[in-house]
Structure 1
Amino acid sequence: MTSTHAPAHRTRSLSVPAMVTRIAVLGITLAVTVFIAPVLISQQSWMWLAVLLLSAVGIFVLYSTKRFVPGKYLFPGTFFLSVFLILPIVLTIGYSFTNYGDGTRGTKEQAIGSIVASSVQQSPDSPRYAMTVATSGSPTEGPFELYLVNPDDGTVYRGDAETALEQVDPGAVTVVEGRVTEVQGLTVLDAAQVNAIYNELMELAVPVDESSAVRPLGVNQAFVGTTVLQYDEATDTITDTSTGEQYTVGEVGDSQYFVDSSGERAFSQGWLQSVGLSNYERLFTNSTVAGQFFSAFVWTLVFAAGSVLLTFALGFALAVILNDQRLKGRRFYRSVLIMPYAIPGFISLLVWSNFYNRDFGLINEMLGLNLDWFGDPSLAKVAVLLTNLWMGFPYMFIVSTGALQAIPDELMEAARMDGASRFQSTSKILLPLLLVAVAPLLVSSFAFNFNNFNAIELLTEGGPFPDGSGRGATDILISMVYRIAFGGSGADFGFASAVSVCLFVLTGVLAAIQFRFTNVLEDVN
C-alpha cells in the first residue's frame, strides 16, 4: 500500500535571494582578506592580521552552512564589540606599560636606520634625480614616498624612510618630461602641497645601502649622498666616521637611547620599549604631575556633578511647570525649550565661545560688563558650567516630562487633600517617584560629563594657563590626557595611556557607587 503522507522531515533549500546574499557576503569577505592581509604582513601588524584572519574564518564557518544558527546572530555584535571596544581598551592598557610617543614609535632597527640615513652628506659628484612626492594617505600627514627619475637613462626608482631605494616597473607610473606625474594607487603631491610639508620632507632619507642614502634637495630634486654615521651590529654601536666618536646604548630616564661618552642622549630617535610601571609611578610620585592630576580630578568631579545637578534642576522645574493642565500653549513652550537640544553640540559651543569674548561678546555687551571670561580661571569655569547648562537642560526636560506622564494624578490630589502644600507634594512625592525612573539616566549623564571632551576643548581649549603648565584651569581629566598625548612638547602616548587607564577605573568606580545609592530608590515603589 502506497502512503500519501509527505516525509516528516524535509530538507529546506535556500531561496535564490538568500543564496545570492550568502555568496556575496562570503565573496566580499574573501576579497577583503586577500587584499588587506599582504598589507598587514608587509607592515608586520601581526595583531590586526590575526583579527582579520580569525574574523574571516568565523564568517566562513558560520555563514557557509545551515548550522550554528545562534552564532549567525551573535557574531556581528560580538565582532564589533571586540574590535571597537574591547580591543582599544586592551591596546591602551598595553601602551601604558611602554614609552610609546614621538621618536619612540618604531623598532630599534627602524630607529637605527633613521639615525644613519639622516646623516647623509652631499658631495660635489653626488648623483641627482628628478623627484616626485606621493602618498597613500593624507597629503599633509603622509606617509610619503619618493619617486625618482634618473636623467641619464630615464630609470624610475622609489623608496621611503623604511624601504630602500628600488627600481619601479615602468607600467606602474607615468613619466612626462623626465618626471613622474602619476602613480598607480597613490596620490601625487603638487607643488603647493610639497611646499606645505617642506620641513618634514627635508628630514626624509631613503636608504640605498649601508653607506649611502637619498635626501631631497628642494621640492623637485633629490641627491644620493654618503652617510657619516655607521652602525656596527656586533658591538651595537654607532660610529661617526668624520670624528671617530662612538655612541652606545644607555639608559636615559626609563628608556634606552644611543648616548655619547658622557651618557647624554645623542639622537632624538628612540624605539618602542617596555618600561613596566614607570608611567604609573610618574603619575603618582612626581609631585608636579600628581598635583595636576589631582586638580584635574577635583574639577572633573565638580564639572560633572554640577552639570548634572544644574541641568536636572532646571529641566525638572520646567517639566513640572509645563505639566500643569491649566497652562495654555504647553506644546508651544515645550517645542521652544527643546530647541537647544536640536542644535549640534559643537555649533552651540563655538557660538557660545564668541558670546564670552571680552571686547565684543554678547554677554558683556548686553549686561554692560567687562569680564575676561576666558582669562580668569574662576570665570572660565563658570562659563563652562553655564554653557553646559544651556546644552543639557533640554534633555533633562524631555526625560522629566516623560517620567511625569507615568505618575498618576491621583497621588498629587490625595496629597493636597491631606493638607500638603504644592512644594511638599512635589518634593516628597513627585520627585522621589520621578527619580526611580530617571536615576540611571542621571548616572549615565554624570559618566558622560566626566569625559565630556568637547565641552572643554571647543569652548575654552582647556585654558586659561596661568602658570604656563601643560594643564589649563578648565581641563578635565580627558582633556588633560589629550594635552599629554598631543601637546606642544611632543606626544607621550605611553603616559597618556596610563592616565587613561586610571580615568577608566575612576569612572567605573564612581558609576558603581552611584548605582549602589540608586538602589535605595527602589524602596519608593
Structure 2
Amino acid sequence: MAAVPTSLEPVQLGTGYNTPLWAKVLKWASLALVVIIAALLIQRLIASGSWLGVTLTAFIATAVLAVYSTRRAVPMKYLLPGLLLLVALQIWPIVYTVATAFTNYGQGHTLSKEEATAQSIAQSVKEVEGSERYRLSIAVPEGSNVATADLVFLLTSPDGTMQVGSSEGLEPLAADGVQATETGKITAAPGYTILNARQANDRSADLEAFAVPVSDAAGIKAVGLSSAFQGAPTLTYDAGADTLTDTATGTVYTPKDAYWTSPDGEALPTGWKENVGTKNFTDLLTNETIRAGFFKIFLWNVAFAALSVISTFLLGMMLALLFNDDKLKGKGIYRSILILPYAIPGFVTALVWASMFNQDFGLINSLSGLNIDWLGNGWWAKVAILLTNLWLGFPYMFLVCTGALQSVPGDVKEAAKIDGASAVRTLRSIIMPLLLVAVGPLLIASFAFNFNNFSLIFLLTKGGPFNASDTTIGETDLLITYAFRLAFESGSPNIGLASAVCIFIFFIVAAMSYSGFRRTKSLEEVN
C-alpha cells in the first residue's frame, strides 16, 4: 500500500505520471519529422540564396524542439502554434505589404539588379556567324519537379553527336537507351525527363534566360522548342563603372529609374526592383491624375460603407422589432425565411443581381417597365450596389437585433408603460440605447467590412462604369478595387503603388474604427 503523506507538501508538476510508450514514440517521431522537413527546406533556401528564409526556418525548428522535447514550458506548448500562425498569416503579410509600398515592385521590376543585368545580357545573345545548329530537346533531371528544376538541353549536332548541355557546360550523352527521331531530335534519354510543349512554354521565362556556356563569351541558346544555336552576347557589364556596353553599336547603358538606359533615353526591357522611398505615397497625394481619382474614390468609399451600414441596420432592426411581438404567430417561420439571403453565398447573389440589373433583359426593368441603365450609368450603378448590399446585409442585422431585443428586460419595458411612456418614447429612450450597447461594436465592424467589400464591387460592376478617357478609375471603385487594378489589371501593374493604397486604407479604417469605439464607450453607462 502506498504511503499516505502526513503533511501538505508541494508536489512537482508531472511527477508520478508515466507517459505511455506509444505517446513517447509519436512525440519523438513527430519532432524528427520536423527536423527532417526543416533540413530539406533549408537546403532549398540555401540553393536559392534566401538567407532570411534559412534563419527563420532554423529558428522555428529550434523553438519547436526546445518547447516540445521537455516537460517544461507547458503554457508555451499551447501558445507556440498560435504564435507561429499569427506571424505567418497576420504579421508577415503586414510587414511585407509595408516593405513593398516603398519599392517600385511591379511589371518590369520584379528581379534584383543582378538578375536583371544577367537577363539583359542573355537576351542580347546573337548567333555566331558560321556556327552550327543543334536539334534540341528541353529536359530536367529525372525525378525532379518539371516546373522548378534546372533546365537541361539534350543536343544533337549535324554529324549525329549527342550531348547534354547544363549550366555547367557540355558533356557527351551516352547512346545507350537514347531514343531519337529521324531528324535527330531526342525523345527519350536515361536519367532525364523531356518536357512536352506545354511544360516548356510554361517555363518560357527560364528558357529565355538559360544558355549552355561554351566559353567565356559564347553559349548555346534555344530558338523555339526544337532547335538551338551557338551565340555570344553583344552586351558586356563593367562592374567598376556600373554600365552595360553594346559591343555591336558602342552604346553605353547606365542605371536610370531602375532600367538600363542609353544616353538618348532608350531603355532595355528588363528593369529591377529597388527602394523608391516615399515616392508611391507622394504620387498618391501630389500627382494630379492619381490624386483626383484617389479622393473621388475615397468619398464614394466612405459613403458606400456608411450608407450600407445605416440601411442594413435600419431594415434589420425594424424587422426584428416587428417579429419580436409576442402576439405574432409563426415567428419562427418568418424569421427563417428572412435569413435565407444570408444563407446563400454572397458571390452567387451578386451575380444574380448583376443579371437582374441588365438594362435590356434584366428582371427589374422588365417588371417595373423602366429603361434604366443600372450598370452603365455612374449614379444608377451606385444605387444598384447599395440595393444589392442591402439585400445581402439586412439578414445579419436582423439576427443581431433579434438577439439583442430578446435580452432587453421585460420589467424595464413594463415600468415605462406604467409611467405612461408611448411606444415611440419607449423605443427611443429605452430599447434603442440598450440595443446599441450590443450592436454598436458590430456596426463598426460592419463599416470596416464594407469599406473593403471587394467581392461585391468586383462581381457586380468591376468598379465601372469607366470614363473613356481614363479606364483606371471607375465610378463605383472602392480603394481596394482600385488597388487591385493598379496591381494586376492596369497596362503597367504597379504592386508597390497598390501596397501604398492598402496602407492608406488601413490607417483610414483604423482611425474611423477608433473614433467609433470611443463613442460606443458612452453607451456602457446605459448598463
Tell me if both proteins adopt one fold, taking TM over 0.5 as the criterion: yes
CA 23–144 in structure 1, closer or farther in 2 if over 3 Å, else same: closer
1:103 shift after superposition: 1.7
| Letter in structure 1 aligned against 2:481 | S
Which residue in the other structure is 1:229 paired with?
235
Which residue in the other structure is 1:475 paired with?
477
1:145 shift after superposition: 6.0
Which residue in the other structure is 1:352 paired with?
353
1:127 shift after superposition: 3.1
1:125 shift after superposition: 3.0
Indicate if the aligned counterparts of 2:67 and 2:77 stay in contact, CA closer than 8 A: yes
Q: Does 1:155 align with 2:190?
A: no
Which residue in the other structure is 1:161 paired with?
none
Query: Matched residues in 2 for 1:376 and 1:481: separation?
Result: 22
Q: How does 1:447-466 map to 2 (within 5 A)?
A: 447-466=448-467
Which residue in the other structure is 1:324 paired with?
325
Q: Does 1:385 align with 2:386?
A: yes
Higher alpha-carbon deviation: 505-514 or 233-242 = 233-242
Higher alpha-carbon deviation: 56-65 or 489-498 = 489-498
Q: Does 1:240 align with 2:246?
A: yes
Q: Identity rate of aligned residues, in percent?
A: 40
Query: Matched residues in 2 for 1:185 and 1:445: separation?
Result: 56
Which residue in the other structure is 1:515 paired with?
517
Q: Does 1:410 align with 2:411?
A: yes
Indicate if the aligned counterparts of 1:165 and 1:207 stay in contact, CA closer than 8 A: no
| Letter in structure 2 aligned against 1:524 | V
Q: How does 1:91-240 map to 2 (within 5 A)?
A: 91-122=96-127, 123=129, 125-132=131-138, 146-151=151-156, 152-158=160-166, 164=167, 176-177=179-180, 178-179=185-186, 190-191=196-197, 204-209=208-213, 210-240=216-246
1:29 to 29, 34, 42: 34
CA 193–32 in structure 1, closer or farther in 2 if over 3 Å, else same: closer
Query: Matched residues in 2 for 1:236 and 1:228: separation?
Result: 17
Query: Matched residues in 2 for 1:219 and 1:228: separation?
Result: 23
CA 416–503 in structure 1, closer or farther in 2 if over 3 Å, else same: same
TM-score normalised by length of structure 2: 0.88
Query: Matched residues in 2 for 1:169 and 1:386: separation?
Result: 71
TM-score normalised by length of structure 1: 0.88
Query: Matched residues in 1 for 2:429 and 2:195: separation?
Result: 69
Which residue in the other structure is 1:314 paired with?
315
Question: What SS does the corresponding residue of 2:137 show, helix, strand or coil?
Answer: strand
CA 502–78 in structure 1, closer or farther in 2 if over 3 Å, else same: same
Indicate if the aligned counterparts of 1:443 and 1:515 stay in contact, CA closer than 8 A: yes
Which residue in the other structure is 1:261 paired with?
263
Indicate if the aligned counterparts of 2:375 and 2:381 stay in contact, CA closer than 8 A: yes
Q: Deviations over 1:464-506 (max 9, x none)?
A: 1114241211111111111111133222122222221121111
1:245 shift after superposition: 1.7
CA 126–395 in structure 1, closer or farther in 2 if over 3 Å, else same: farther
| Letter in structure 1 aligned against 2:164 | V
CA 521–112 in structure 1, closer or farther in 2 if over 3 Å, else same: same
Which residue in the other structure is 1:433 paired with?
434
Indicate if the aligned counterparts of 2:416 and 2:426 stay in contact, CA closer than 8 A: yes
Question: What SS does the corresponding residue of 1:247 show, helix, strand or coil?
Answer: strand
Question: What SS does the corresponding residue of 1:52 show, helix, strand or coil?
Answer: helix
| Letter in structure 2 aligned against 1:490 | S
1:260 shift after superposition: 1.0
Which residue in the other structure is 1:89 paired with?
94
Question: What SS does the corresponding residue of 1:226 show, helix, strand or coil?
Answer: strand
| Letter in structure 2 aligned against 1:207 | A
CA 513–166 in structure 1, closer or farther in 2 if over 3 Å, else same: farther
Pick the structure with greater CA Rg: 2
Q: Deviations over 1:18-46 (max 9, x none)?
A: 32332233122112201211222222223
Question: What SS does the corresponding residue of 2:253 show, helix, strand or coil?
Answer: strand
Q: Does 1:336 align with 2:337?
A: yes
Query: Matched residues in 2 for 1:321 and 1:272: separation?
Result: 59
CA 24–457 in structure 1, closer or farther in 2 if over 3 Å, else same: farther
CA 370–150 in structure 1, closer or farther in 2 if over 3 Å, else same: same
Q: Does 1:18 align with 2:23?
A: yes
| Letter in structure 2 aligned against 1:331 | G
Q: How does 1:357-368 map to 2 (within 5 A)?
A: 357-368=358-369
CA 88–201 in structure 1, closer or farther in 2 if over 3 Å, else same: closer
RMSD of aligned residue pairs (Cα, Å): 3.1
1:92 shift after superposition: 1.3
1:192 shift after superposition: 5.2
Q: Deviations over 1:55-82 (max 9, x none)?
A: 1110000000001111111111111111
Query: Matched residues in 1 for 2:106 and 2:337: separation?
Result: 48
Higher alpha-carbon deviation: 417-426 or 64-73 = 417-426
Higher alpha-carbon deviation: 477-486 or 211-220 = 211-220
Query: Matched residues in 2 for 1:78 and 1:503: separation?
Result: 26
Query: Matched residues in 2 for 1:168 and 1:365: separation?
Result: 73
1:460 shift after superposition: 0.9
Indicate if the aligned counterparts of 2:136 and 2:222 stay in contact, CA closer than 8 A: no
Query: Matched residues in 2 for 1:246 and 1:157: separation?
Result: 32
CA 372–3 in structure 1, closer or farther in 2 if over 3 Å, else same: closer
Higher alpha-carbon deviation: 470-479 or 221-230 = 221-230
Which blocks of at least 5 consecutive residues in structure 1 are unaligned? 159-163
Higher alpha-carbon deviation: 455-464 or 359-368 = 359-368
1:408 shift after superposition: 1.8
CA 205–324 in structure 1, closer or farther in 2 if over 3 Å, else same: same
1:191 shift after superposition: 3.6
CA 176–471 in structure 1, closer or farther in 2 if over 3 Å, else same: farther
